[in-house]
Amino acid sequence: DTGVSQNPRHKITKRGQNVTFRCDPISEHNRLYWYRQTLGQGPEFLTYFQNEAQLEKSRLLSDRFSAERPKGSFSTLEIQRTEQGDSAMYLCASSPRDRDEKLFFGSGTQLSVL
Protein backbone atom coordinates (compact mmCIF):
# COMPACT_ATOMS: atom_id res chain seq x y z
CA ASP A 1 0.00 0.00 0.00
CA THR A 2 1.70 3.15 -1.17
CA GLY A 3 -0.54 5.84 0.23
CA VAL A 4 -3.94 7.49 0.19
CA SER A 5 -5.70 6.97 -3.12
CA GLN A 6 -8.35 9.30 -4.53
CA ASN A 7 -10.54 8.93 -7.57
CA PRO A 8 -11.17 10.53 -9.92
CA ARG A 9 -8.21 12.90 -10.23
CA HIS A 10 -10.25 15.40 -12.18
CA LYS A 11 -13.99 15.95 -12.53
CA ILE A 12 -15.72 18.45 -14.75
CA THR A 13 -19.45 18.81 -14.28
CA LYS A 14 -22.26 21.15 -15.08
CA ARG A 15 -23.94 23.22 -12.43
CA GLY A 16 -26.77 21.33 -10.79
CA GLN A 17 -25.31 17.87 -11.33
CA ASN A 18 -24.35 15.51 -8.53
CA VAL A 19 -20.79 14.27 -8.13
CA THR A 20 -19.19 11.61 -5.96
CA PHE A 21 -15.54 11.22 -5.02
CA ARG A 22 -13.84 8.20 -3.51
CA CYS A 23 -10.95 7.95 -1.07
CA ASP A 24 -9.04 4.84 -0.04
CA PRO A 25 -6.92 5.56 3.05
CA ILE A 26 -3.63 3.97 3.99
CA SER A 27 -4.30 0.47 5.31
CA GLU A 28 -4.98 0.34 9.04
CA HIS A 29 -5.35 4.11 9.33
CA ASN A 30 -8.53 4.46 11.33
CA ARG A 31 -9.01 8.21 10.87
CA LEU A 32 -10.03 9.68 7.54
CA TYR A 33 -10.42 13.37 6.74
CA TRP A 34 -11.86 15.42 3.91
CA TYR A 35 -10.50 18.89 3.20
CA ARG A 36 -11.20 21.38 0.43
CA GLN A 37 -8.60 23.72 -1.04
CA THR A 38 -9.04 26.63 -3.41
CA LEU A 39 -6.27 28.50 -5.22
CA GLY A 40 -4.10 30.53 -2.89
CA GLN A 41 -5.71 29.14 0.24
CA GLY A 42 -4.78 26.45 2.70
CA PRO A 43 -6.81 23.28 3.03
CA GLU A 44 -10.15 23.85 4.76
CA PHE A 45 -11.55 21.14 7.03
CA LEU A 46 -14.82 19.54 5.91
CA THR A 47 -15.34 16.39 7.96
CA TYR A 48 -13.63 13.39 9.51
CA PHE A 49 -14.29 9.78 10.45
CA GLN A 50 -12.92 7.48 13.07
CA ASN A 51 -13.50 4.06 11.62
CA GLU A 52 -17.08 4.24 10.28
CA ALA A 53 -18.27 6.98 12.64
CA GLN A 54 -18.43 10.54 11.33
CA LEU A 55 -17.21 12.53 14.34
CA GLU A 56 -17.28 16.10 13.11
CA LYS A 57 -18.58 18.16 10.23
CA SER A 58 -17.56 21.72 9.50
CA ARG A 59 -20.24 24.34 9.98
CA LEU A 60 -19.25 25.51 6.50
CA LEU A 61 -20.44 22.23 5.02
CA SER A 62 -23.87 22.74 3.50
CA ASP A 63 -26.49 20.01 3.44
CA ARG A 64 -25.64 19.44 -0.23
CA PHE A 65 -22.48 17.69 0.97
CA SER A 66 -22.57 14.21 2.44
CA ALA A 67 -19.80 11.81 3.32
CA GLU A 68 -19.81 8.16 4.24
CA ARG A 69 -17.30 5.59 5.33
CA PRO A 70 -19.03 2.23 5.32
CA LYS A 71 -17.24 -0.50 7.25
CA GLY A 72 -14.49 1.93 8.20
CA SER A 73 -12.54 1.44 5.00
CA PHE A 74 -12.92 3.68 1.95
CA SER A 75 -14.92 6.88 2.04
CA THR A 76 -17.11 8.74 -0.44
CA LEU A 77 -17.91 12.43 -0.59
CA GLU A 78 -21.02 13.40 -2.53
CA ILE A 79 -21.97 16.89 -3.60
CA GLN A 80 -25.55 17.33 -4.75
CA ARG A 81 -26.76 20.12 -7.03
CA THR A 82 -23.26 21.43 -7.60
CA GLU A 83 -22.63 25.16 -7.75
CA GLN A 84 -19.75 27.06 -9.34
CA GLY A 85 -18.50 27.90 -5.86
CA ASP A 86 -17.92 24.19 -5.24
CA SER A 87 -15.02 24.26 -7.72
CA ALA A 88 -11.95 23.31 -5.70
CA MET A 89 -9.45 20.58 -4.94
CA TYR A 90 -10.99 18.00 -2.62
CA LEU A 91 -8.32 16.38 -0.50
CA CYS A 92 -8.60 13.20 1.51
CA ALA A 93 -6.16 12.40 4.30
CA SER A 94 -5.73 9.62 6.81
CA SER A 95 -3.92 9.30 10.11
CA PRO A 96 -2.71 6.15 11.79
CA ARG A 97 -3.92 6.35 15.40
CA ASP A 98 -6.61 7.92 17.50
CA ARG A 99 -4.33 10.53 19.03
CA ASP A 100 -1.96 10.96 16.11
CA GLU A 101 -2.72 14.14 14.23
CA LYS A 102 -0.18 13.65 11.47
CA LEU A 103 -2.18 13.65 8.25
CA PHE A 104 -1.13 11.94 5.04
CA PHE A 105 -2.85 13.35 2.01
CA GLY A 106 -3.96 11.76 -1.22
CA SER A 107 -3.43 13.42 -4.60
CA GLY A 108 -6.82 15.07 -4.47
CA THR A 109 -9.77 15.39 -6.83
CA GLN A 110 -9.92 18.63 -8.79
CA LEU A 111 -13.56 19.59 -9.33
CA SER A 112 -14.57 22.14 -11.93
CA VAL A 113 -18.23 23.18 -12.05
CA LEU A 114 -19.18 24.90 -15.28
Residues engaged in binding other proteins (CB under 8 A) = 31, 33, 35, 40-45, 48, 56, 89, 91, 95, 98-99, 101-108
Taking the least distance from each CB to other proteins, the nearer of 82 and 109 is 109
Taking the least distance from each CB to other proteins, the nearer of 25 and 43 is 43
If you write DSSP's letter for every residue of the chain in order, what string do you get?
--S-EEE-SEEEE-TT--EEEEEEPPTT--EEEEEEE-TTS--EEEEEEETTEEEEE-TT--TTEEEE-GGGS-EEEEE-S--GGG-EEEEEEEESSTT----EE---EEEEE-
State in angstroms the smallest separation of the CB of 55 from other proteins.
Answer: 8
State in angstroms the smallest separation of the CB of 61 from other proteins.
Answer: 13
Taking the least distance from each CB to other proteins, the nearer of 1 and 17 is 1
State in angstroms the smallest separation of the CB of 38 from other proteins.
Answer: 10
Cα–Cα distance for residue pair 54/95, rounded to 1 Å = 15
State in angstroms the smallest separation of the CB of 101 from other proteins.
Answer: 5
